[in-house]
Chain A
Amino acid sequence: MKSYDVIVIGAGHNGLIVASKLAASGRRVLLLEAGETYGGMARSEVLFEGFQAPELASNAIGISKDVVQDLGLSKYELLFNEDGLKTVGLSIENENVIFGRNFGETIEGLREDEFKRWKELREKFFNQSQLFQRLASQIPVGRNYKTFGSKANLFLTAAKLRLQGKEQFQELLRMITMCIADLVEEELETSSLKGLISFDSTLGIKLGPRSPTSYLGLLYKLSQMKASYQEKSLSIHGGVTSFINALFKSAEENGVDFVFKGKVSSLIITDSVVTGVKLENGVEYSAKTIVSSISPVSTFLDLVGPQNLETDLTRRIQALRYSGNTTKLNIILEELPKLHSSQNLDANYRYVYAPSLEMVESNFNSLKYNELPSDPNFEMYFSKISSGSSLNGAVMASICIQNTPYSVKGGWKNSKEVLMNKVISTIQKYAPEIKKGILFKSLLLPHETEKKYFVAGGHWHHSELQIDSLYSLRPAFDVSDYSTPIDGLFICGAGTHPGGNLFGLSGLNAAKKILQESIK
């Protein structure tokens, strides 16, 4: 049996970060990945005729500054757009609002007085997002919460927020649990703007704009934007791939060993101490420290097993909600579609189809009852294909569809085509010629993501990112500080604090925790 200091399970971005960081500290690290290559849900796949691109992740928003600096990733080639991406909030009457970079620094198509109110509201949003920003890089208060240090930490955070001023502090306490619908309706009128903000607040989360706490979704997003490597920029495919490649190179240079197609079937645990892993093909590896970057449900219920856990923790993990609710549609087009609009639109925008708050809410209603959304909302990015494949010169549209249930009433077999057609005919309303130019298209539903990318439920965040599963409650109180009741076992995936997107802080925080523990 081969022996290592550390075994990391799962080569998604969080797994890569932990592996690289621990290897850099002089440990011998093995990274096990069930799939054929690294990158997890951000990995590149051959999509059509030899053309490779990330199938799922479409934007590189919110890659944490800390991760890039800590691992020295800037020495590798990271591709970011120099200029921030603008968002077009498509409207029904074709009076689209164009959201300037940095979440609406400027907005085209808005009356002056409304823009003034928007500016104030936006400032509040960004101000309050600092709470998350502050907490994101902290190791959450966990089982050891009675210690002085962890209490002091929380107290300081509260004090710092209070020092911003009484009025602001009161607004924070009032707004933080509100629904985004009430907040935007207090200040704004333009339907497509309200729709756009509602969409951004609830994408990937099982909440509608009228659900209390849906504002947290927006705060979360903004805090990631603020803490990201290049505040002002979003980059399409190239950005994602360059980030994942940089992580891989960094891990490789630090001496991490990789095993692909190495799906772990169980952990070897005796008397609540983990000593190694067993793969599906029977191979075993031993290590004193095992770090799992896969979802908490898989880690605890499949790999560790309830027989090794206290019932309380098992119950909490079982209660996690992890059914995915977003679907990805990739379309290859002969050329950039011409948009039917008086405004001058082109491929350098992010397009969001969420013309009204009510529409987002009603699609969420469908999701609640496992039904197909009647007029699905989605966001769409275009990128020119310039690789050496036969598709050179074509354009890829990456479309992320909101509120699509994990299992649909009547089964996905019949509904898959319906969903795809619904989205394409919506795009057709804005770009009438689009159907003629479609070369390839493919749809990836949550349950397909689950199978292909080895993610329980196909949930992009591994489990719901809602108020009852943030910070110390993510994924469950007893394991929120990345350590677990099993000696030597740590978790570091998106299911841990702060989770989500390509942030990478889950991995970085977990690595820090492991280094701390070994000093003790």
Chain B
Amino acid sequence: MEKNFDVIVIGSGHNGLVNACYLQKAGLNVLVLEKNDWIGGAAVSRELHPGILYSNCSYVCSLFRPEIMRDLELPKHGLQIVAIEGGTVFTRDGDYLASFRNYHAKKRELERFSVKDSESYSRYSRDILKQCRFIQPLLMRTAPDPASFKFRDLSEMLYLLRKVNDLTASELADTIRFWTMSISDFLDEYFENDVIKASLAVSGIIGTALGPMSPGTAYVLLHHYMGEVDGSIGAWGYARGGMGAISKALTSSFRAMGGTLLNNSEVEKVDIRGARVRGVILKNGDEYLAKNVVSNADVKRTFLKLTDPEHLPPNFIKKVNNFKIRGSSGKVNIALDSMPKFPGVSDTNPCLKGDIHFTDSIERMERAYDDWKMGTWSRDPFLDMMIPTLTDPTMAPPGKHFMSCFVQYCPPKVGGKNWTKENKDAFGETVIQQIADYSPGFKDKILHMEVRTPKELEEEVGLTEGNIFQGELTFDQLLFNRPIPGYAQYRSPIKGLYMCGSSTHPGGGVMGAPGRNAAVEILKDLNLSGSDIRDAYEVL
């Protein structure tokens, strides 16, 4: 087999694949190396129980950029996104708050809990939409380095300033406050009912190592709100065939363009000679050569494990070490013999087709976070559950179901020590017990289940400390600070070594933007035109 390539991409996560596709499309000869025998990193569908497909890591698709879908012709390669119908929060007193895609149905349901809040909801939606509009174009642009005097950084800064200048005084004030507030304080300005607030606060905390009362979480809400299925902001979708369908479509697109992808090829080291990349060396001793290497691994893995420290400035290594990447969530994936019963809601109610929660107050969410801060999993965890098989029949035989439970909070280490089997079982039991409290007979329906703590995420997928965003989404690690000040433009201190994972701007979620943006920068360095890669704001 050929050993010489123009570009080697380490890791076949969705960002790695997106990156590889764009580079291959621009005429380069690209090799993607994946350590596992499956493709897709954390966007996978795996048959862990006969006949039932599991989206066992990421479980919902909302952020994936439509521009990328169009550029890479993913629908042609089999990708289909189905919008999610609704969602529901079960309360402790046996009631539930449903949400529906239909605006009026949603408002009617809110009215049942609070007439005032139902009225505020319009104002709330409008304000969120404004913030989404403001930030969306920034996602698909490389962040400028504010400390640099280079022309492109200055002109990009100017673009940002102009965008800010376009706002009215009052909008600007709202924007700054929105970016800095806690989701709890933010919702307090609109709503009075605790269940409603809890149901809306969800998006502010998913995947973050923060509680709803921590400043900065209102911004995270936006990160989940920018989903764009069918062009409607805030709508979430399932990939038909599970999250692996995204990776599958990307792979198919990549191979159709002539790219090479190798499984079971774990990279041991990036080969660096004289401050320049020469290629990579695999665990099995194989060597592949390329002048450019792009790492889809997180910044810690890339620079602390795959690169010899002697090639990096000590100051840079220190900053990589200080990068915050604490895992905060776990997952319990369950195969079910039949649809679980929730008293008061019929099986066919569309609200069950979306995210199901049991956490009915901000205080319960925040307390769940307090447990994590003290180094243990939440005793009363916050669950974000989905039953995608209600919407997508291709994932399980008729009548059977796959249920994905995203669990927050779950620490990378328990009380400073590594996870043990007992810990893991106890964690799984906590989650199952909570579901069983709300759904009688639930335990009897379980055919198979898989418990995933940050430890499993790190070992299998390679996410350091099991952080699903490859680094926390706090201000000190966003925009030009992501991952490290001065290196926010996908380049590294080593010539030819790039990053394209979620550790880079604009961060986590199955979005694909980091992979695409990195490709733009690489093509710039190679003096190749990526003219068919359009700026996001032109599309809008």
The residues of A with any CB-CB pair to B shorter than 8 Å are 143, 145-146, 162, 166, 169-171, 173-178, 182, 186, 207, 210-213, 312, 315, 319, 321, 358, 361-362, 365, 368-369, 466-468, 472-473, 476-478
Contacts and interface: CB of A to CB of B under 8 A. Distances in A.
Given A473-B176, A473-B177, A312 B213 contact: no
B481 A207 contact: no
Given A468-B181, A473-B177, A212 B474 contact: yes
Given A173-B485, A174-B485, A212-B210, A467 B180 contact: yes
Contacts of A182: 324
B232 interface: no
A468 B170 CA distance: 14
8 contacts: A178-B474, A178-B476, A211-B215, A212-B210, A312-B170, A361-B373, A362-B374, A365-B370
A368 B147 contact: no
Given A145-B169, A211-B214, 19 more contacts: A143-B169, A169-B147, A173-B480, A176-B476, A177-B476, A178-B476, A182-B324, A211-B213, A212-B474, A213-B180, A315-B189, A368-B363, A368-B366, A369-B367, A466-B215, A467-B215, A472-B176, A477-B169, A478-B170
A162 B374 CA distance: 38
A177 B169 contact: no
B253 to A, nearest CB: 37
A166 B486 CA distance: 9
A43 B188 CA distance: 35
Nearest to B189: A319
Nearest to B171: A477
A468 B363 contact: no
A281 B476 CA distance: 53
B194 interface: no
A358 B373 CA distance: 9
Contacts of A472: 173, 176
Given A213-B215, A468-B180, A477-B173, A321 B485 contact: no
Nearest to A182: B324
B475 interface: yes
Interface string B163-188: 00000011011001100110001001
Ranked 10 nearest A-B pairs via Cβ: A477-B173, A170-B485, A177-B475, A467-B180, A212-B216, A468-B180, A319-B189, A468-B177, A213-B215, A166-B147
B147 A162 contact: yes
Q: Which of A207, A358, A365 has the largest count of B CB atoms less than 10 A from its CB?
A: A365
Contacts of A176: 475-476
B397 interface: no
Q: Is the contact region of chain A dominated by helix, strand, or loop, or is it mixed?
A: helix
Contacts of B476: 174-178, 212
B440 interface: no
B125 interface: no
A182 B209 CA distance: 13
B191 to A, nearest CB: 12
A477 B173 CA distance: 6
B146 interface: yes
B219 to A, nearest CB: 10
B204 to A, nearest CB: 13
Contacts of B172: 145, 477
Contacts of A468: 176-177, 180-181, 185, 215
B322 interface: yes
B322 A212 contact: no
Contacts of B210: 212
A213 B177 CA distance: 13
Interface in B348-364: 363
Interface string B117-149: 000000000000000000000000000001110
A369 B324 CA distance: 27
A46 to B, nearest CB: 39
A182 B324 CA distance: 9
A177 B480 CA distance: 14
A173 B481 contact: yes
Nearest to A480: B173
Contacts of A145: 169, 172
A212 B170 contact: no
A312 B215 CA distance: 23
B177 A369 contact: no
Contacts of A368: 213, 363, 366
Interface string B471-490: 00011100011000110000
Contacts of A467: 180, 215
A212 B472 CA distance: 12
B177 A212 contact: no
A211 B483 CA distance: 20
B188 to A, nearest CB: 7
A287 B373 CA distance: 55
Contacts of B185: 321, 468
B215 A170 contact: no
A212 B475 contact: yes
A406 to B, nearest CB: 15
A133 B52 CA distance: 62
Contacts of A162: 146-147
Nearest to B324: A182
A477 B147 contact: no
A321 B370 CA distance: 22
Nearest to A169: B147
Contacts of A478: 169-170, 173
